[in-house]
A and B are shown apart, each in its own frame.
Chain A
Amino acid sequence: AQKITQTQPGMFVQEKEAVTLDCTYDTSDQSYGLFWYKQPSSGEMIFLIYQGSYDEQNATEGRYSLNFQKARKSANLVISASQLGDSAMYFCAMSPNYGQNFVFGPGTRLSVLP
């Protein structure tokens, strides 16, 4: 069965600094997708970035990049130049090769300090 682990329940970062949120996953599939979502205090889930298991390059979307290390089964999210508006819960998720479901991690709460 697939599983997502996020070992950092909470993280603090100074405004304008970079931060890395950890995500490790467990799957026996060879083909899968990895996603990161942001959930502000208002509750909506915002899709940030996607990485396919066969993508050779790390995904980037603006200030977000995904540090994908397939052999280590890790997909860490890097946020550069943190902003106060980045304070939120961040969830790592995986879609398996077959089946319709995502597996979500427990989340990391990021607090950006002024």
Chain B
Amino acid sequence: QQQVKQSPQSLIVQKGGISIINCAYENTAFDYFPWYQQFPGKGPALLIAIRPDVSEKKEGRFTISFNKSAKQFSLHIMDSQPGDSATYFCAASKTRNTGNQFYFGTGTSLTVIP
């Protein structure tokens, strides 16, 4: 059973465009929602994260939008660059419990065309 559902599976965007990846969850006990970025041949690495007490977090060209009532969150990449081409995973965890599990979405392969 997938704890975090992610879409789309793949995305092609022109350089300078906006990339949007969406995720949804069911478990209201989740209190931390990170996004991971994975380049070919590498392991995923933390990109940006948000807690449910805020609706938006921005770091440079990357923004997370969070809708607690809808149990959805999304990653927006502004002014997308070819170097952003990678696989992106959303995730959720319960940091206040000792379980400390990270549940990942199925990933989105982003290609930014020059």
The answer to whether A and B assemble together is no
> Using a CB–CB distance below 8 Å, which chain A residues touch chain B?
none
Chain B residues packing against A (C-beta within 8 Å): none
